[in-house]
Structures are given as C-alpha cells and as structure tokens.
Structure 1
Amino acid sequence: MTHQKIYFDCRRHAERGVLEVVPRIDRIPLTDLIDRFEMDAGMQPAGDAYGGLVPQFFRFGAMEDHFHGRSTGAMGPKTPVLGCECGEWGCWPLMASITVTSDRVTWDSFEQPHRKTRDYSGFGPFHFDRHQYDDAVKALSAAVSSDET
C-alpha cells in the first residue's frame, strides 16, 4: 500500500493575524485538494470555502490528540481537518474519520456536515506512515505551543 506524506503548515490567517493550521498531503495543501474535488464534482458553493484550523479560536486540545482522532467528543466521531476560510471551524468544516494503527494513520469518510447530501466517497482515503505522521504532528504541536507563549 502506498503512503502519502503529511505536513502541517502553520501560517498567519490573512485577515485575523492568528495562527492557522493547514494540512498538506504530498506537499499539496488540503484546501487545494478539496477545492479541486468539489469543483470537479460540480458542488456549489465550492472553491475558496475552506481555511485552516485556528487553535486560538477553539480549544482543540493537544494537537497529538486532535490529529489522532481523540479530540473532544462534542464533535462526534469525526474530526475537523479544515475549517471555514473565515477562521471558524464550525462555520464550514471538512470532517474526516481518523484511524490510527501501529504502522499507519488513515483519513477517510470525509464529509461537509452542513451539506449532508454531498458525496465525498471519491475523496481519499489518505494513508500515512505512522512514524512520519507522528513526526509531523509533533512539529505542529511545537509550532502551536510556541505561538501561544
């Protein structure tokens, strides 16, 4: 099985100046991947609807817990991997199931909870080597922690 590589970009939100986290899969921002998928599928609205997660706006907990699918149970069984372009994840989130095994992490079963009729079965799944994934999450955690100080 082929594994993708995951990275997390930490950048300043263009309008609010707060730290925004955008996953990259094989170096392509997840925002670009989902925009392309939704536009190719003819979904409306589509394109430039998603942004990164803003830890300052919502207490996701430890990044290790969040990106291992163990974030707060108030979100249900799926985990927000992107938020709205406005910076609020609850406004327009991209949700995914995150499954962690000893050697792999899988993101699949994507959904846009505000548009239940949308079919994301052709998006993903994304499989990551567990060690590479954990290293990327540790780097993300360090970046988020240093931003909070």
Structure 2
Amino acid sequence: MISNEMRFDCQHRGDTGLLVVVPHIDGTPLTELVDEYEIAAGMQPAGDAYSGLIPEFFRFGPMQDHFLGLSTSAMGPKTPVLGCECGEWGCWPLMARITATADLVTWDAFEQPHRKTRDYVAFRPFQFDRHQYDDALQALSAVIGSAADDTSA
C-alpha cells in the first residue's frame, strides 16, 4: 500500500505574529491541494479561501490530539484541518474525518460545512504511515511548545 507523507509547517502570520499550522501532504500545502480541487470543480468561492490553523485563536487542546481526530471542541465528528484565510477556523473551515489505527492515519470525508452541496468525494483520502505521522506530530508539538515559551518569556 502506498502512503502519503505528512509534515506540519509552522510560520508566524505577518499581520499578527501568531503561529499558523499548515499541513503539508507529500510536500504540498493542504491549502494548495484544496484550492486546486475547488477551482477545478468550479466551486465558488474558490482559491485563497483557506489558511492554516492558529492554535492561539481556539482551544483545540494538544495539537497531537487534535490532528488524531480527538479534539473535543470540534464541530461534530469531523476535525478542522484548515481555517479561513482570515485566521478564524469557524469562518470557513475545511473539515475531515481523521481515523487513526496502530499502523495508519487516514484523512477522508472532507467537507466545507458552510456549503453542504460541495462534493469532495474525489478529493482523495490521504493515508499516512502511523509512525511517520506521529513523528510529524511530535515535531509540531516541539515547535508549538517553543513558540509558547517565547510568548511567555
């Protein structure tokens, strides 16, 4: 079975300096992957609608739990994996079902909850080797932890 590779990119947002977390799948930001899909599908609005998640804006709980689909404050059974380009995830989120087993983490059943008629069935499921995914989560937690240390100093 072929699996995708996950990496979480963390950058400071220029207008606020807050940390923004963008999942990268096989080296491509998820923001680009979903933009390409929505534009090709003729969805409106589409393109530059999404940004990464800003942990300081919402209490997701530990990012390791959040990106394993265990965030208790998410909307229903799905997890926000991207937020709006304005920085607020509730404004225009990309939601996904995240399923974790001992060997795999799967992201599928994507949806834009504010546009229920949008069809993401062809936005392929992504499957990640659990060990590689856990390593990416550990790296993300280290960055978020050091960013929190910087702000509390």
Query: Which bin holds the TM-score, normalised by the shorter protein?
Result: over 0.9
CA contact (8 A) 1:8 1:24 kept: yes
5+ residue gaps, structure 1: none
Structure 2: runs of 5 or more not aligned: none
Deviation at 1:14, TM superposition (A): 2.8
Shift of 1:74: 4.7
- Give 1:45's aligned residue: 45
Pairwise mapping of residues 1-149 of structure 1 onto structure 2 (< 5 A)? 1-149=1-149
Q: Provide the aligned length of Structure 1 versus Structure 2.
A: 149
Structure 1 residue ranges (4+ consecutive) displaced by more than 6 angstroms after TM superposition: none
- Secondary structure of 2:80's counterpart equals strand
The Cα RMSD (Å) is 0.8
Q: CA deviation at 1:73?
A: 4.5
Select between 70-79 and 60-69 the one with higher mean Cα deviation. Answer: 70-79
Tell me, yes or no, if the aligned pair for 2:111 and 2:120 is still in contact at 8 Å. Answer: yes
Return the letter of the residue paired with 2:104.
Answer: R
Q: Residue 38 of structure 1 aligns to a residue in which SS?
A: helix
Structure 2 residue matching 1:121: 3-state secondary structure: coil
TM-score relative to the length of structure 2: 0.95
Cα drift, residue 71 of structure 1: 0.2
**One-letter identity of the residue aligned with 2:37:** F
Residues 72-129 of structure 1: per-residue CA shift (max 9 Å, x gap): 1452100000000011000000000000011000000000000000000000200000
Distance in 1, Cα, partners of 2:16 & 2:92: 17
2:20 & 2:74 partners in 1: Cα distance?
A: 21
